[in-house]
Amino acid sequence: MTDPSELGGLATPAAIVDVERMAANLDRMATYVERHGLALRPHTKTHKIAALGWEQIRRGSRGLTVATGPEAVVMGDVAPNLLLAYPALGGGRLDAIRRLSPSIELDVALDSDAALEALSRAAQAKDRVVGVLIEVDAGMHRTGVAEPEEMLRLAQRAGALPGLEFRGIMFYPGHIRQAVEEQAAPLAAVNELLQRYLDALTSAGLSTAVVSGGSTPTAFQSHLVQGLTEIRPGTYIFNDRTTAAVGGCAWEDCAYTILATVVSTAVAGQAVIDAGSKSLSREEIRAPEGTVIRSAEGRIGPATGLGALLDRPDVVVKATSEEHGLLDLSGTDWRPQVGERVRVVPNHVCVSVNLQLALWGVRGDNIVERWPVAARGWTLEA
Amino acid sequence: MTDPSELGGLATPAAIVDVERMAANLDRMATYVERHGLALRPHTKTHKIAALGWEQIRRGSRGLTVATGPEAVVMGDVAPNLLLAYPALGGGRLDAIRRLSPSIELDVALDSDAALEALSRAAQAKDRVVGVLIEVDAGMHRTGVAEPEEMLRLAQRAGALPGLEFRGIMFYPGHIRQAVEEQAAPLAAVNELLQRYLDALTSAGLSTAVVSGGSTPTAFQSHLVQGLTEIRPGTYIFNDRTTAAVGGCAWEDCAYTILATVVSTAVAGQAVIDAGSKSLSREEIRAPEGTVIRSAEGRIGPATGLGALLDRPDVVVKATSEEHGLLDLSGTDWRPQVGERVRVVPNHVCVSVNLQLALWGVRGDNIVERWPVAARGWTLEA
């Protein structure tokens, strides 16, 4: 029998966190924001685990960012300050605001009158003040107002509604993740755009106390964005294959893997593992053709497929079905046996974590933690 | 306040099952297999809920198919017979076999010596007999032996190992789902291929008692496959947008939707809902360009994107991020308001269900059931 306190004793697929790599990732970001005088409110959608939120808080994060009601309630246990980076509509997020202690400072980002009105009602019902950030579109064209005039109108309305206080603006340059080789251009564009919004706020005598931006791929360039006061990267705690492909981290900074077992080698040219779309997810990297990922050991892998082996970035998960991952063996002379174990770095760690019941923290081959992924879903289970 | 027993009282996103449509889907398949003398062991990876497995058993299913350890243990509570359509390697599936009552008849499908040996040890430890199906590759090139000789070798080995009994073969024509307009051709190819395997078994005096195939898109053509004894469709209980796109069901047979709230209309030409890749998943339909989906009301939608509205199949989810879905309004004059609710049919229901904590059964607008998705993950939680 295998020792249950070691990696070999885990049933597969299982989500593994290298706690030393994770700590290094957390320390690196804490050092960066301190050096540049930026506030950090990390996005906890990546891990959904209070103990990891606490690791971020104790390293000096001003607060934590959340996207859902359960994330708000779970992170409220460890954070004195929360940013709900999502309008409180649809029920679950309003329920969470009702459950949060009024002693927790809360900001909510939104881009509509309906969201402002719902938030004002929730703040009044709780006899508390909620900060409002108006979301502006920084070029991703997902959410956020498109013009400074609309921002000003909503900001002024926020200031007038009971229970609310206008505190600044939020944007999300998520499109930069999808444009590997154009990082310089979007950054300049974001700067130009942001200036228009900040000028409008200043002219109107409105607060620019919070200017919240930044996601992991561009986090370490945040000091180049003029007027920015805080960033809220999420992925950086673990990193993933997409972050490595866009140059946001080194391959060796990837702290999260799916431990998997080879279950079939019957079809020539491939090996099948027991990690499929239900544990890795099925998100492709949107990178220009020919993008490669380099490890410190000099191994080079393409940025194609749905994941790659931690120790062999040139061995790619070329396809998945629900419980099957197909390792492409065409570019390697490695030939695994049925029963052999591998560790896969997924393309997008946030959606992989969301598929797990729990994450296992390991130090080398020793299991040192088991963290239930507590904040999954959109309502708190009774 | 909204009545909590009605759809309007649910927090969004929420997974909704129309129980009348589901019952009709279950009845249709039960009638089909009865008429054609086929056995049915539905794949429960689609729902992962014991109560729904029971709905399949009480309509005459011979047993239930499972892919993981938790699915086996959960479905063991309601089924006298299980097919584990996956080799018992990696830990979780062997644990499940140890936990299953020996009174439950069990078959396991596999394609390697290592899987045979592990299964034999598990059967002996439990002092029981486990049936073996050798998996053969029917053209999908995922798993399964490629030649009748290899099948015979493994079948004979199964017959010789203690605790095991060779019972037949299994195949999965999953590639047909990806080849909408070529359904006739793969069917002929499957027939030809299958005949080679069945001839080899007969010549060797080996059992053809179980010849297990079939998935939802081709389920109603199963009587055309010669020698087939059973099918194990999964998706048919709910159906989904891909099944509708490939002609495996009518749009009105889709019983599963994600209830979502419009949270932003700030960016022109689209509306953003609170159902993103963490509730719909991000799986595209692999259909030839120009494939359309028709509803009985005559509305026509393209098979592009990541989902479409139940009542407006022409309104497509054109992109998702984790908690955002972008409805493309370019082909409609419908303009939803922030706060409005919609129901989205996802492309692939099995992976969407796997993202939910629970499903809500509804009859019209009334909530009649709440089913926790009990068999998620790969180990049973303590």
Angle of CA points B336, B338, B339, to nearest 5°: 105
Q: Which residue has the higher pLDDT, B218 or A340?
A: A340
Residue A180: band (very low, low, confident or very high) from pLDDT cuts 50, 70, 90: very low
Tell if the CB–CB gap between A86 and B14 is shorter than 8 Å. Answer: no
| Peptide bond between residue A148 and the one before it cis (omega within 30 degrees of 0) | no
Q: Which residue has the higher pLDDT, B191 or B47?
A: B47
Residue A178 reports pLDDT greater than 50: no
Residues of B in contact with A86 (CB under 8 A): 263, 274, 323
Tell if the CB–CB gap between A135 and B266 is shorter than 8 Å. Answer: yes
Q: What is the mean pLDDT of residues B113-127?
A: 97
Q: Which residue has the higher pLDDT, B217 or B156?
A: B156
Smallest Cβ distance to B272: which of A10, A114, A142?
A142
Structure tokens at B303: 């098979």
Q: Tell me the Cα Rg of chain B.
A: 22
Distance from CA of B142 to the nearest CA of A (A): 7
Look up residue B337 and give its DSSP letter.
P
Residue A184 reports pLDDT greater than 80: no
Rounded-to-integer distance, Cα B92 and Cα B47, Å: 19
The one-letter amino acid code at B147 reads E
CB B356 within 8 A of CB B51: no
CB A135 within 8 A of CB B256: no
Structure tokens at B347: 């492309």
Tell if the CB–CB gap between B281 and A279 is shorter than 8 Å. Answer: no
Rounded-to-integer distance, Cα A197 and Cα B187, Å: 60
Q: What is the pLDDT of residues B316-375, one digit of tens each?
A: 999 999 999 999 999 899 999 999 999 999 999 999 999 999 999 999 999 999 999 999
Residue A187 reports pLDDT greater than 90: no
**Strand order of the sheet with strand A81-84?**
A39-40, A230-231, A210-213, A164-170, A130-135, A105-110, A81-84, A64-66
| B12, β-bridge pairs | none
Q: What is the pLDDT of residues B178-187, one digit of tens each?
A: 444 445 566 7
Residues of A in contact with B272 (CB under 8 A): 142-143
Ramachandran angles phi, psi of B114, nearest 5°: -60, -40
Angle of CA points B231, B83, B148, to nearest 5°: 70
| Peptide bond between residue B13 and the one before it cis (omega within 30 degrees of 0) | yes
Smallest Cβ distance to A89: which of B263, B324, B377?
B263
Q: Which residue of A has its CA nearest to B137?
A: A267
Q: What is the pLDDT of residues A59-91, one digit of tens each?
A: 999 999 999 999 999 999 999 999 999 999 988
Residues of A in contact with B321 (CB under 8 A): 142, 174
Say which range, A149-153, B13-17, B173-177, has the weakest mean pLDDT. Answer: B173-177
Distance from CA of B298 to the nearest CA of A (A): 31
CB atoms within 10 A of CB A341: 17
Rounded-to-integer distance, Cα A185 and Cα A190, Å: 9
Smallest Cβ distance to B143: which of A95, A118, A266?
A266
Rounded-to-integer distance, Cα A200 and Cα A202, Å: 6
Q: Which residue of B has its CA nearest to A14?
A: B378
Q: Which candidate in A169, A264, A282 is best for mutational testing of the B interface (most B CBs within 10 A)?
A: A264
Instruction: Determine the pLDDT at residue B181.
Output: 44
Instruction: Determine the pLDDT at residue A332.
Output: 93
Residue identified by tokens 């960012």 is A65
Rounded-to-integer distance, Cα A301 and Cα A293, Å: 5
Residues 6+ apart with CB under 8 A from B37: none
Helix H, strand E, coil C: the string for A285-325 is CCCCCCCEEECCCCCEEECCCCEEECCEEEEEEEEEECCEE
Say which range, A131-140, A253-262, B124-133, has the weakest mean pLDDT. Answer: A131-140
Element (H, E) at A361: strand A358-363
Distance from CA of B48 to the nearest CA of A (A): 13
Residue B382 reports pLDDT greater than 50: no
Instruction: Determine the pLDDT at residue B187.
Output: 75
